[in-house]
Structure 1
Amino acid sequence: MHKKGDRVKVRSDLKADTRYDGIYCHAGMLKHSGKKATIVCTQEHRGRADVFYIDIDTEGYYWSSSMFE
């Protein structure tokens, strides 16, 4: 499982309007496809999957671990 401070790479094959581990992928997230990022914060989402915030995302989208390579 990922944790704060981990370096990750956003999947280059992300698809908008798709759920990854139950987390919705918004079209605005696609601009980060293929880029490296650092996890800056984690939190539990609705009592199940962890969600992540990454440093390159200034919009504050939720990211799931299956959105990373």
Structure 2
Amino acid sequence: PGLLEPMAVHRDHRRRGHGRAITLAAAAALRALGASSAFVCTPTANTAAVATYTAAGFRPLPVTRDSRRDG
């Protein structure tokens, strides 16, 4: 499996499909390198990223919470 992150589009170029295109190109490159799958791990609060990855064909999975211990 391959990880497609981090990915970003400059604010002046958003909402033009560039994020989707970059994501699809990265997934194609991973496939060419022999990856059996691709995934992303972005916070659900990052709605722009979630929308971009969904537009590129990724399916949201249930939210998982990180564990942390203060101290």
TM-score, length-scaled by structure 1 = 0.27
Larger Rg: 2
Where is the strand percentage greater, Structure 1 or Structure 2?
1
